[in-house]
Amino acid sequence: MIKIEGLHFSYGDKRVLKEINLYLTRGDFIGIIGPNGSGKSTFLKTLSGYLPADKGVIYLDNYLLNKVSNEDLARIMAVVPQDTNVDYNFKVYDLIMMGRRPYQNRWGMVSEQDREIVSEVMEMTDTQGFSQENINKLSGGERQRVIIARALAQEPDILLLDEPTASLDINYQGEIFDLLAKLNRYRGITIILVSHDLNLSGQYCDRLILLKDGQVYKTGIPTEVLRSETIAEVYQSDVIIEENPFTGKPYLIMVPGGSKKKQWGKRSTITENTPKIHLICGGGSGRKMFSLLHNKGFQLSCGVLNIGDSDWETARRLNLKIAESPPFNPISKQSLEYNRQLMTEADIILLAETPFGHGNLDNLKLLLDLSDKTIILKGGRKFQERDFTGGEATLLWQELKRRPGCYLKNKTADILQLIEDLIKI
């Protein structure tokens, strides 16, 4: 469908696109993603023929793109620009009819077929209700649907869109992507769009093209491209990748403070001297502390956690050191020894508000063995309410509280402040 070989483009002396080689097949729903300045919009403009390449070629159905006439190209490919503002205040119907220009004679005579096509695309885009309104009276989402309708009036095989949901609220974003998905699925239109929204792109697109510094960094189906290590490398930001339960597609969750760029209030680089904190948690009791402490730039470890536990999942996605053990089994000697090693290496050990049973009781016992460590206990509800050992865990808890170097704090804010104070000592 579209074959790109050795594509280069520059604005003056600034090289924007470098050695792009791609093959885009007919009927795909393709998302072009990447950070600001990666060349996404420029790439789309070269695909549309608006910007001529400095070097390399683009084939459109085995024809050189730069050899296809403007009229023929307009019948094959339509473009929805990022800026949907219209200088003249046209009526919606007239603006959509402009999409029929490639099929009209030099005088722009409107045929019955033109009217039928415009009526059809207005129904597809749900724009009939304001067909006689002036374009500049419409909301952003309504105006975007009109511009898409104008593009569809060209009866294109390929639809190019540059940030079609930019500055739209969540309702209109879903509406636009649902429309594009239907056009792709039921009309067979090839959709190629630029988007900053990785989640929308991941849910709707069949294939993603990830650009970095003007080059293709990675391309493939969403599960191949949207990986935490890839996002960290390209976007300089930590994310957790979940699976959308409705679509099975990857869904990104930003880690607060996960930007790898230097930020005020965060340790910019983790080194051997960065304070280490070990968490004893489980059952989701550590999730909030993981986020808060990761945000502050500490080195984190945890354990012993059952494989599959919600805290284990969070720690794994944050690439933390984890002492782990299979579920429904006593903690193994090997796991306990690794947990002891992580605790010994830590500057502070934090015991979250986690329940205790016979399966994780050894974590408490191990704490008592480390008499020289600074320990913070998260209080809150009565410990007896989360003791499922017949009182054995409560006895260990009481003994821990009496130990020198052990602090009991009920509020998360107090724990964070105590950690900062202890680190300064």
> Tell me: the pLDDT tens digits for 18-55?
999 999 999 999 999 999 999 999 999 999 999 999 99
Burial class (CB in 10 A: 0-12, 13-18, 19+), 98: middle
Q: What percent of the chain has pLDDT over 70?
A: 96
Furthest-apart CA atoms within the chain: distance in Å = 93
Return the SS3 of 96.
Answer: helix
Residue 131 has pLDDT above 80, yes or no: yes
- Summary mean pLDDT of the chain: 90
Using a 10 angstrom Cβ sphere, with 0-12 exposed, 13-18 middle and 19 or more buried, the burial of residue 106 is exposed
Q: What pLDDT is attached to residue 269? A: 54
- Read off the DSSP letter of residue 421: H
> Which pLDDT score, from 0 to 100, does residue 162 have?
95
Judged against a pLDDT cut of 80, whether residue 267 lies above it is answered with: no
Domains of the chain: 2-87+153-254 (3.40.50.300), 276-423 (3.40.50.450)
Would you list the DSSP string of 348-400? EEEE-S--B-TTTHHHHHHHHH-TTSEEEEE--S-GGGGB-STTHHHHHHHHH
pLDDT digits (tens, 9 = 90+) for 201-257: 999 999 999 999 999 999 999 999 998 889 989 998 878 788 888 888 999 887 765
Alpha helices per DSSP H over 242-285: none
Percent of the chain with pLDDT over 90: 64
Given a contact cutoff of 8 angstroms between Cβ atoms, the answer to whether 31 and 193 are in contact is: yes
- Residue 328 CA to residue 76 CA, distance in Å, equals 60
Q: What is the pLDDT of residues 269-327, one digit of tens each?
A: 556 678 999 999 999 999 889 888 887 889 999 989 999 998 998 898 888 999 999 98
Peptide bond into 92 cis (omega under 30): no
pLDDT at residue 264, rounded to an integer: 43
pLDDT at 268 over 60: no
Q: What is the pLDDT of residues 358-368, one digit of tens each?
A: 889 999 999 98
